[in-house]
Amino acid sequence: MTPSIEEANSKAATHKKVNAWQTPGPAAYDFRSDTITTPNESMLNAIINTTLFDDVYLEDTTTTDLEKSIAELSGHEAALLVMSGTMGNQVALRTHLTAPPQSVLCDVRGHIVNYEAGGVSSLSSAMMIAISPSNGHHLTLEDVKKHAVISDNVHACPTRVISLENTLDGMIMPLDEVREISAFARENDIKMHLDGARIWELVAADAGSLPEFTTCFDSASLCFSKGLGAPIGSIIVGSKSFIDHSRRIRKMIGGGTRQAGIITAAARVAVQENFGTGPRGEGGKLRGSHARARKVAEMWRSKGGKLAKPVETNMVWLDIEDAGYSAEQFAELGATEDLKIIGGRLVVHYQITEDAVERLGRIMDKMLEKKKTNGTNGTNNGH
Ligand SMILES: Cc1ncc(COP(=O)(O)O)c(C=O)c1O
């Protein structure tokens, strides 16, 4: 009987627990997500040396300094630490959405509509308008214009926020498109929010600078705990008045923290070491992980595999169906090489090692051998 993905992954090795902060750690063989990246020893040292003042009283300088520096880095007036990407999106949207009836337009594949427990409807009393990109890759101005509700008709639910996600599924919405949508939103008095959980990847892929993207938006949420490896934390940026109100919303939902320095000390190291100190991620680790993702994709293709989506940052989408594999079977095969895998998406975060890629290569050989034997040739989305 085919085991579940959970069973297969529980059989895959985790590192012997010598020290939880060691590098490489348990994420080295885990392709499921970049949320899996673990904090390292320099983050631990930063935590040991942090300030321990109260951030609800705005007294913790490690936290307020980080907020100030991310605000500057992103070209916004102010920033606010939040506990997670979900909290960042929800606090930001709740701050924008003050007068129902109101709707939020987003990509149908987006995190806010699929993976935030329906927060926009319950916390902000807003309707979601989730649309498919007509080009199959990213939303365009035309898509947005077609679906945004701009009407004085009392039957309509006016669009108050356009919420974009970039990168989405590892793919890049080009800066020019973002600029056009932003100009349209401003003309129509619609707020722009960015789910920039992976904006660091976008910048490291040379798609534009951090402020070039973030200043197209009234608010943006940026995560420290995904590709950057911090244990906890995200941050939202915006105008001073926006952040002042967000602080109140954050408090309301229990996100005001006391000795927040233990979070922000690690987050600062995550940005400096892993995104890098240069404005485009120079000196960081993300560019290297993108190169490794391209290598993984090339390895799959050279063995006869097909990709389900283009590789533009750190995600590789294998068309496992075309290779004759279900998600469960792929996870099970991964476990034979002590790899953790979920579905056809491989997230090649910076903690993935060369050894993990070699193991993956052996698995690919087996999978594509099966394809040759069966003559499988299922559907393929191209790219
Ligand atoms: C694009 C995107 N936004 C937001 C989130 C939510 O982040 P968190 O898990 O920290 O709540 C995720 C999580 O993976 C994500 O992928």
Among the atoms of ligand 1, which is closest to the Cα of residue 226?
14
Contacts of 180 (CB under 8 A, 6+ apart): 141
pLDDT of residue 5: 67
Sequential DSSP letters for 277-322: SSTT-TBSSHHHHHHHHHHHHHHHHHTT--BSS--SSSEEEB-TTT
**Which residue is associated with the tokens 């673990």?**
38
Among the atoms of ligand 1, which is closest to the Cα of residue 195?
3
- The domain spans of the chain are 5-30+285-374, 41-275
Cβ–Cβ < 8 Å for 301, 308: no
> Which residue of 35, 106, 225, 228 sits with most ligand 1 atoms within 8 Å of its CB, as the best mutation to test the pocket?
35
Give residue 198 CA to ligand 1 midpoint distance, Å. 9
Tokens of 292: 């490794």
Q: What are the helix (H) ranges across 97-152?
A: 111-114, 119-124, 141-147
Atom 5 in ligand 1: which residue has the minimum CA distance?
85
Give residue 132 CA to ligand 1 midpoint distance, Å. 20
pTM: 0.93
Percent of residues, the chain, with pLDDT higher than 70: 93
Residue 19 banded pLDDT, cuts 50, 70, 90: confident
Contacts of 210 (CB under 8 A, 6+ apart): 73, 74, 75, 199, 203, 279
Q: What mean pLDDT do residues 79-98 have?
A: 98
Residues with CB under 6 A from ligand 1: 35, 84-86, 111, 165, 195, 197, 223, 225, 234
Asked whether residue 204 carries a pLDDT value surpassing 50, the answer given is: yes
Question: What's the mean per-residue pLDDT of the chain?
Answer: 93
Give residue 155 CA to ligand 1 midpoint distance, Å. 34
Among the atoms of ligand 1, which is closest to the Cα of residue 33?
14
Atom 13 in ligand 1: which residue has the minimum CA distance?
85
Asked whether residue 29 carries a pLDDT value surpassing 90, the answer given is: yes
For the beta carbon of residue 279, count every other beta carbon within 10 angstroms. 12
Sequential DSSP letters for 221-278: EEESSSTT--SS-EEEEE-HHHHHHHHHHHHHTT---SSTHHHHHHHHHIIIIIIBSS
Q: What is the pLDDT of residues 91-105, one digit of tens each?
A: 999 999 999 999 999
> Which residue of 33, 81, 83, 86 sits with most ligand 1 atoms within 8 Å of its CB, as the best mutation to test the pocket?
86
CATH no. of 5-30+285-374: 3.90.1150.10
The three-class DSSP label of residue 156 is coil
pLDDT of residue 383: 30
Contacts of 216 (CB under 8 A, 6+ apart): 178, 179, 181, 182, 192, 194
State phi, psi for 60 to the nearest 5 degrees.
-85, 105
Q: What phi-psi label fits residue 228: left (phi over 0), alpha (psi between -120 and 50 degrees) or beta?
A: alpha
Residue 26 banded pLDDT, cuts 50, 70, 90: confident
Q: What is the pLDDT of residues 277-320, one digit of tens each?
A: 887 888 999 999 999 999 999 999 999 999 999 999 999 999 99
Which CATH number, 3.40.640.10, 3.40.50.2300, 3.50.50.60, 3.90.1150.10, labels domain 41-275? 3.40.640.10
Give residue 350 CA to ligand 1 midpoint distance, Å. 18
Give residue 88 CA to ligand 1 midpoint distance, Å. 9
Give residue 86 CA to ligand 1 midpoint distance, Å. 6
pLDDT of residue 378: 42
Q: How many helices (H) and strands (E) does the chain have?
A: 15, 9
Among the atoms of ligand 1, which is closest to the Cα of residue 85?
7
* CA–CA distances in Å: residue 229 to residues 39, 171, 273, 278, 279: 5, 20, 10, 18, 19
Q: What mean pLDDT do residues 19-44 have?
A: 93
* Residues 248/253/255/256 CA torsion (nearest 10 deg): 40
Q: Name the residue among 71, 72, 381 with its Cα closest to residue 80.
A: 71
pLDDT of residue 9: 60
Q: What is the pLDDT of residues 237-255, one digit of tens each?
A: 999 999 999 999 999 999 9
Contacts of 255 (CB under 8 A, 6+ apart): 82, 83, 87, 91
Give residue 195 CA to ligand 1 midpoint distance, Å. 8
Q: Name the residue among 196, 247, 243, 256 with its Cα closest to residue 223.
A: 196
Give residue 369 CA to ligand 1 midpoint distance, Å. 36
